[in-house]
Chains A and B, each alone.
Chain A
Amino acid sequence: MEAPPVTVMPVTGGTINMMEYLLQGSVLDQALESLLHRLRGLCDNMEPETFTDHELVYLLKGQQGNPFILRARRSLSHPTSPWHLRYLGQPEVGDKSRHSLVRNCVDVAASHSLPEFLNEMGFRMDHEFVANGHIFRKGAMKIVVTKLSRILVPGNTENTERLSLSYLGGAECVGSCRPGHCVGGHAQLC
């Protein structure tokens, strides 16, 4: 058996170019209640959902310039759900009047052997954190209010400490790339 020839070539075709539009802000802990009330009223009418996620960020360092970053995320509240692997490109610089961040994004689901697979591929985990909070939905937009926690012992998601006394709020929308059309929504964060 001969070693198969390995070449490095970009994968072309077969994918839709999805762009992520993102707005972020933060609120102090004492303002969290009123923010949640407002979001409950502004967003789609559904039971408020909480989530607890563990996100790991993997880096692949090459000699040329920027390392390649992949984000792997799993739910701690639903341990049997598949992992979520995400690639986020560089933010698009263009329209100065557009407040939201626009970048290319590729999302896939993965099985539970994802960390080992990424390690075998050559990725190294750069950092990890635990995010838990509330998630709302408004049409195609996803609005989250999260509390970020640092993991003190690598791999141990029980032992965490909060990063700051604020909650991170974000509104994001994923849509296909259409030049000149911004699918950003309005989410006033306090």
Chain B
Amino acid sequence: MQREEKQLEASVESLISRVAHVKNALHSFIYKLENEYERLTWPSVLDNFALLSGQLNTINKLLKNEKTPSFRNQVIIPLLLSPDRDEDLAKLTEQRVPVFSHEIVPDYLRTKPDPEVEEQEKQLSAEAARIGPEVAQKQIQTLNKLCSNLLEKLNNPRDDRDAESAAMRQNKPSFNPADTNALVGAVAFGKGLSKCRPPGPVAPGHPGQGPMMSGGPTLQQVTIGGGSNQQAAMGGPVPPQQQGQPGTDELEEQNQTSCLVYLEERDKCGFRLFHETHINHASEGALGVGKKGGAVCLPGAHSFHSLRKL
């Protein structure tokens, strides 16, 4: 009798200490989850779970130990229930159970499962009784076979397995190097994306279309609108320059890119003069002014120049 009592006490003591370990591990894990949420990595979460699982395992082993008396034979009966606060109890339970009253007894001294769980268990046992012993036996055997297969695969590392997985990976290629080159070329310099237009000497008639990439430098003619398009004091309104005019042929021969700019000037009498000038991008590293055909550009000239379309 006494030996059993001593055993009971010892096992309860060790059980209490194991459960305290689990409680501490849970406490730190919850703290980490709630406060260090951003810094938490999956491997450390897995570590915490592994720790808890290990501790539960030791508790299981302790309970299965033959030195441990069967706790089912022990009964706990509350001797005194009072709605008053019990300081000792509060200190013992870290303020979680301050009062040993009628409300806490069903939860803390429970021996039967919850009503919902009891319902589910009843359903499961009814189901099991329904299917009959042979079917049940067959199901048990299939389950055992699956588990043993899996265990064998996990426990015996086979070299064939690496070869198998390598072969599987080779059979299903995940990228195509030609595609890589095509895509990178398309993003980097528009390979396969440039609009195909038959190359020709005449500049495209519509503004805003792409230049021809193939072949040599092509002509671009741009009008700079805005402030420089001022109305002539003497002439009619300045017609906007259109591309594709016959005058472009001469420019193409010169093979330059140029912009059309209207420069305004005042002569001695204060009359405003307008010059049509071409600004060439190439001349002497700075924007220069070139001559084209009949349009004479002489800054400071004292004569009128009529506006001409190029």
Contacts of B217 in A (CB 8 A): 61, 63
B148 at the interface (CB under 8 A from A): no
A154 touches B195 (CB 8 A): yes
A21 at the interface (CB under 8 A from B): no
A140 at the interface (CB under 8 A from B): no
Say yes or no: A61-B179 contact (C-beta < 8 A), given A120-B224, A127-B193, A150-B193. no
CB distance from A56 to the nearest CB of B (A): 10
Contacts of A63 in B (CB 8 A): 217, 256-257, 281-282
Q: Total A-B pairs in contact (CB under 8 Å)?
A: 119
The SS class assigned to the B binding surface is loop
Report the stretch among A106-114, A160-168, A174-182 that lies at the interface: A160-168
Q: Produce 1/0 per residue, A144-156, CB < 8 A to B.
A: 0000101000100
How many residues belonging to A are interface residues under a CB distance threshold of 8 Å? 40
A166 (CB) vs chain B CBs: closest residue: B179
Contacts of A163 in B (CB 8 A): 182-183, 186, 192-193
A16 at the interface (CB under 8 A from B): no
Q: Produce 1/0 per residue, A103-147, CB < 8 A to B.
A: 000000000000000011010111111000000000000000000
B174 touches A31 (CB 8 A): yes
B286 touches A8 (CB 8 A): yes
Contacts of A93 in B (CB 8 A): none
B199 at the interface (CB under 8 A from A): no
Q: How far is A96 from B234 in the complex, measured between Cα atoms in Å?
A: 67
CB distance from B264 to the nearest CB of A (A): 6
CB distance from B185 to the nearest CB of A (A): 10
Q: Produce 1/0 per residue, B262-293, CB < 8 A to A.
A: 01110000000000000101100111000000
Say yes or no: A124-B210 contact (C-beta < 8 A), given A27-B175, A63-B281, A190-B175. yes
A157 at the interface (CB under 8 A from B): no
Q: How far is A154 from B206 in the complex, measured between Cα atoms in Å?
A: 13
Contacts of A6 in B (CB 8 A): 279, 286-287
B65 at the interface (CB under 8 A from A): no
A168 touches B187 (CB 8 A): yes
Q: How far is A154 from B208 in the complex, measured between Cα atoms in Å?
A: 10
B225 at the interface (CB under 8 A from A): yes
Q: How far is A129 from B174 in the complex, measured between Cα atoms in Å?
A: 25
Contacts of B228 in A (CB 8 A): 3
Q: How far is A1 from B175 in the complex, measured between Cα atoms in Å?
A: 63
A164 touches B285 (CB 8 A): no
B259 at the interface (CB under 8 A from A): yes
Contacts of A119 in B (CB 8 A): 207-208, 222
A6 (CB) vs chain B CBs: closest residue: B287
Question: Which residues of chain B (126-163) have a CB below 8 Å from chain A?
Answer: none
Contacts of A26 in B (CB 8 A): 175-176, 179-180, 183-184
Question: Which residues of chain B (17-67) have a CB below 8 Å from chain A?
Answer: none
A127 touches B179 (CB 8 A): no
Chain A interface residues (CB < 8 Å from chain B): 1-3, 6-8, 24-28, 30-31, 34-35, 57, 59, 61-64, 119-120, 122, 124-129, 148, 150, 154, 163-166, 168, 189-190
**Cβ contacts A to B, 17 pairs, < 8 Å:** A7-B286, A24-B187, A26-B179, A28-B179, A30-B172, A31-B175, A34-B174, A35-B174, A57-B190, A63-B256, A63-B282, A64-B282, A120-B225, A122-B222, A129-B186, A148-B186, A163-B192
* Other A-B pairs beyond A124-B210, A126-B210, 20, CB < 8 Å: A1-B264, A8-B286, A8-B287, A24-B183, A25-B180, A26-B183, A28-B175, A30-B172, A31-B174, A31-B175, A63-B217, A63-B282, A119-B207, A122-B220, A124-B211, A125-B208, A127-B190, A166-B179, A189-B175, A190-B174
